[in-house]
Amino acid sequence: MNLHRAQNLPDWKSESFESLNNFQKIADATNGVLTPANMVTGLGLYLVYKGAQDLNNNKILSGTLKIGLGRAMDYFDGIVADKTKTKSPLGEAFDATADKIGVLLVGLPLYKNNLISRNKLNLVFAQNAINTVYTMKAKNEGKEIHSSKYGKLATAAQWIFIGSSLLEKATKDAKFHTPGDILNKISNISFLTFLGLGSIASAKIIQDSSK
Protein backbone atom coordinates (compact mmCIF):
# COMPACT_ATOMS: atom_id res chain seq x y z
CA MET A 1 0.00 0.00 0.00
CA ASN A 2 1.43 3.36 -1.06
CA LEU A 3 0.54 5.82 1.67
CA HIS A 4 0.56 9.57 1.04
CA ARG A 5 3.16 9.84 3.78
CA ALA A 6 5.94 12.40 3.93
CA GLN A 7 9.11 12.92 5.90
CA ASN A 8 9.63 16.07 7.96
CA LEU A 9 10.73 17.92 4.83
CA PRO A 10 9.16 17.85 1.35
CA ASP A 11 10.87 15.57 -1.18
CA TRP A 12 12.17 18.48 -3.22
CA LYS A 13 13.95 20.05 -0.25
CA SER A 14 16.42 17.17 -0.10
CA GLU A 15 17.71 17.84 -3.62
CA SER A 16 19.48 20.71 -5.36
CA PHE A 17 17.21 22.99 -7.38
CA GLU A 18 19.01 22.07 -10.61
CA SER A 19 18.14 18.39 -10.16
CA LEU A 20 14.43 18.95 -9.50
CA ASN A 21 11.84 17.74 -11.99
CA ASN A 22 9.18 20.14 -13.29
CA PHE A 23 6.59 18.95 -10.76
CA GLN A 24 9.01 19.55 -7.92
CA LYS A 25 9.89 23.04 -9.18
CA ILE A 26 6.20 24.01 -9.27
CA ALA A 27 5.72 22.52 -5.80
CA ASP A 28 8.74 24.44 -4.51
CA ALA A 29 7.50 27.72 -6.03
CA THR A 30 4.05 27.31 -4.43
CA ASN A 31 5.26 26.04 -1.03
CA GLY A 32 3.84 22.60 -1.74
CA VAL A 33 0.32 23.74 -2.63
CA LEU A 34 0.35 22.89 -6.34
CA THR A 35 1.34 19.26 -6.70
CA PRO A 36 -0.13 16.50 -8.87
CA ALA A 37 -1.18 14.53 -5.79
CA ASN A 38 -2.95 17.51 -4.22
CA MET A 39 -4.84 18.01 -7.47
CA VAL A 40 -5.94 14.37 -7.40
CA THR A 41 -7.00 14.72 -3.76
CA GLY A 42 -8.89 17.94 -4.50
CA LEU A 43 -10.70 16.48 -7.52
CA GLY A 44 -11.65 13.43 -5.49
CA LEU A 45 -13.08 15.61 -2.72
CA TYR A 46 -15.05 17.64 -5.28
CA LEU A 47 -16.62 14.46 -6.69
CA VAL A 48 -17.55 13.37 -3.17
CA TYR A 49 -19.18 16.78 -2.63
CA LYS A 50 -21.19 16.45 -5.86
CA GLY A 51 -22.19 12.92 -4.88
CA ALA A 52 -23.34 14.13 -1.48
CA GLN A 53 -25.50 16.75 -3.21
CA ASP A 54 -27.10 13.98 -5.27
CA LEU A 55 -27.83 11.98 -2.12
CA ASN A 56 -29.45 15.03 -0.59
CA ASN A 57 -31.71 15.17 -3.65
CA ASN A 58 -32.48 11.44 -3.35
CA LYS A 59 -30.43 10.58 -6.46
CA ILE A 60 -28.90 7.57 -4.77
CA LEU A 61 -27.32 5.75 -7.71
CA SER A 62 -25.63 8.76 -9.33
CA GLY A 63 -24.55 10.02 -5.91
CA THR A 64 -23.02 6.67 -5.00
CA LEU A 65 -21.11 6.47 -8.29
CA LYS A 66 -19.66 9.97 -7.87
CA ILE A 67 -18.69 9.26 -4.28
CA GLY A 68 -17.12 5.95 -5.27
CA LEU A 69 -15.05 7.58 -8.01
CA GLY A 70 -14.03 10.40 -5.71
CA ARG A 71 -12.93 8.07 -2.96
CA ALA A 72 -11.07 5.83 -5.42
CA MET A 73 -8.83 8.80 -6.17
CA ASP A 74 -7.72 8.74 -2.55
CA TYR A 75 -5.84 5.54 -3.32
CA PHE A 76 -4.00 7.10 -6.25
CA ASP A 77 -2.80 10.35 -4.71
CA GLY A 78 -0.07 8.58 -2.73
CA ILE A 79 1.13 6.80 -5.86
CA VAL A 80 1.13 10.07 -7.80
CA ALA A 81 3.04 11.85 -5.02
CA ASP A 82 5.60 9.05 -4.94
CA LYS A 83 6.08 8.85 -8.71
CA THR A 84 6.46 12.63 -9.10
CA LYS A 85 8.63 12.88 -5.97
CA THR A 86 6.40 15.55 -4.46
CA LYS A 87 5.49 14.09 -1.09
CA SER A 88 5.28 16.72 1.64
CA PRO A 89 3.81 17.24 5.12
CA LEU A 90 1.29 19.65 3.57
CA GLY A 91 0.16 17.05 1.05
CA GLU A 92 -0.15 14.39 3.73
CA ALA A 93 -2.21 16.75 5.91
CA PHE A 94 -4.44 17.70 2.97
CA ASP A 95 -5.02 14.02 2.19
CA ALA A 96 -5.98 13.23 5.78
CA THR A 97 -8.20 16.32 6.03
CA ALA A 98 -9.97 15.43 2.78
CA ASP A 99 -10.79 12.00 4.24
CA LYS A 100 -12.50 13.58 7.24
CA ILE A 101 -14.31 16.24 5.19
CA GLY A 102 -15.55 13.52 2.84
CA VAL A 103 -17.08 11.55 5.72
CA LEU A 104 -18.84 14.68 6.96
CA LEU A 105 -20.10 15.69 3.50
CA VAL A 106 -21.58 12.25 2.84
CA GLY A 107 -22.61 11.50 6.40
CA LEU A 108 -24.94 14.49 6.73
CA PRO A 109 -27.36 13.54 3.90
CA LEU A 110 -27.12 9.87 4.92
CA TYR A 111 -28.17 10.79 8.45
CA LYS A 112 -30.72 13.42 7.44
CA ASN A 113 -32.48 11.17 4.91
CA ASN A 114 -32.04 8.00 6.96
CA LEU A 115 -30.37 6.21 4.04
CA ILE A 116 -28.18 4.06 6.31
CA SER A 117 -28.60 2.80 9.86
CA ARG A 118 -28.03 5.79 12.12
CA ASN A 119 -26.53 3.58 14.82
CA LYS A 120 -23.85 2.43 12.40
CA LEU A 121 -23.28 5.99 11.20
CA ASN A 122 -22.82 7.10 14.80
CA LEU A 123 -19.97 4.61 15.15
CA VAL A 124 -18.41 5.84 11.90
CA PHE A 125 -18.62 9.45 13.10
CA ALA A 126 -17.25 8.51 16.53
CA GLN A 127 -14.21 6.71 15.11
CA ASN A 128 -13.38 9.62 12.81
CA ALA A 129 -13.88 12.13 15.62
CA ILE A 130 -11.54 10.22 17.95
CA ASN A 131 -8.83 10.08 15.29
CA THR A 132 -9.21 13.79 14.52
CA VAL A 133 -9.11 14.89 18.16
CA TYR A 134 -6.02 12.86 19.06
CA THR A 135 -4.22 13.76 15.85
CA MET A 136 -4.82 17.47 16.50
CA LYS A 137 -3.69 17.03 20.10
CA ALA A 138 -0.46 15.42 18.94
CA LYS A 139 0.16 18.08 16.28
CA ASN A 140 -0.35 20.86 18.85
CA GLU A 141 2.27 19.17 21.02
CA GLY A 142 4.71 18.95 18.11
CA LYS A 143 4.38 15.19 17.69
CA GLU A 144 4.34 13.45 14.33
CA ILE A 145 1.25 11.38 13.58
CA HIS A 146 1.03 9.50 10.29
CA SER A 147 -1.72 7.44 8.70
CA SER A 148 -1.11 3.73 9.24
CA LYS A 149 -1.95 0.83 6.97
CA TYR A 150 -4.66 -0.14 9.45
CA GLY A 151 -6.10 3.35 9.15
CA LYS A 152 -6.10 3.27 5.36
CA LEU A 153 -7.67 -0.19 5.29
CA ALA A 154 -10.28 0.89 7.83
CA THR A 155 -11.08 3.91 5.66
CA ALA A 156 -11.46 1.64 2.63
CA ALA A 157 -13.79 -0.68 4.58
CA GLN A 158 -15.75 2.33 5.80
CA TRP A 159 -16.40 3.54 2.25
CA ILE A 160 -17.20 0.05 0.98
CA PHE A 161 -19.77 -0.16 3.79
CA ILE A 162 -21.30 3.18 2.81
CA GLY A 163 -21.25 2.42 -0.91
CA SER A 164 -22.66 -1.09 -0.65
CA SER A 165 -25.37 0.11 1.76
CA LEU A 166 -26.44 2.79 -0.69
CA LEU A 167 -26.40 0.41 -3.65
CA GLU A 168 -28.41 -2.08 -1.59
CA LYS A 169 -31.09 0.55 -1.04
CA ALA A 170 -31.04 1.60 -4.69
CA THR A 171 -31.44 -1.98 -5.98
CA LYS A 172 -34.17 -2.89 -3.50
CA ASP A 173 -36.05 0.31 -4.30
CA ALA A 174 -35.88 -0.85 -7.93
CA LYS A 175 -37.25 -4.29 -6.88
CA PHE A 176 -33.93 -6.08 -7.54
CA HIS A 177 -33.91 -8.14 -4.37
CA THR A 178 -31.16 -10.68 -5.12
CA PRO A 179 -28.42 -8.05 -5.77
CA GLY A 180 -29.73 -6.21 -2.73
CA ASP A 181 -29.26 -9.27 -0.53
CA ILE A 182 -25.69 -9.74 -1.76
CA LEU A 183 -24.92 -6.08 -1.16
CA ASN A 184 -26.40 -6.38 2.32
CA LYS A 185 -23.86 -9.10 3.13
CA ILE A 186 -21.02 -7.00 1.72
CA SER A 187 -22.24 -4.05 3.77
CA ASN A 188 -22.30 -6.06 7.01
CA ILE A 189 -18.88 -7.63 6.43
CA SER A 190 -17.25 -4.32 5.49
CA PHE A 191 -18.81 -2.60 8.52
CA LEU A 192 -17.42 -5.24 10.88
CA THR A 193 -14.05 -4.97 9.13
CA PHE A 194 -14.15 -1.21 9.58
CA LEU A 195 -14.89 -1.59 13.30
CA GLY A 196 -12.00 -4.00 13.81
CA LEU A 197 -9.35 -2.21 11.78
CA GLY A 198 -10.62 1.20 12.84
CA SER A 199 -10.25 0.26 16.51
CA ILE A 200 -6.65 -0.82 15.92
CA ALA A 201 -5.89 2.38 14.00
CA SER A 202 -7.49 4.58 16.68
CA ALA A 203 -5.62 2.77 19.45
CA LYS A 204 -2.35 3.41 17.63
CA ILE A 205 -3.12 7.11 17.18
CA ILE A 206 -4.01 7.44 20.86
CA GLN A 207 -0.84 5.60 21.83
CA ASP A 208 1.38 7.71 19.54
CA SER A 209 -0.20 10.95 20.76
CA SER A 210 0.52 9.99 24.38
CA LYS A 211 4.23 9.32 23.92
> Using one digit for the tens of pLDDT, what is the confidence trace for 95-139?
888 988 999 999 999 999 989 999 999 999 999 999 999 988 888
Residue 54 CB coordination number (10 Å)? 18
What torsion, rounded to 10 degrees, do the Cα atoms 165, 80, 43, 202 define? 50
Q: Are 194 and 154 in contact (CB under 8 A)?
A: yes
pLDDT band with cut points at 50, 70 and 90 for residue 176: low
Tell me the C-alpha to C-alpha distance, in Å, between residue 169 and each of 16, 107, 166, 174. 55, 16, 5, 9
Predicted TM-score (pTM) of the model is 0.85
- DSSP letter, residue 141: T
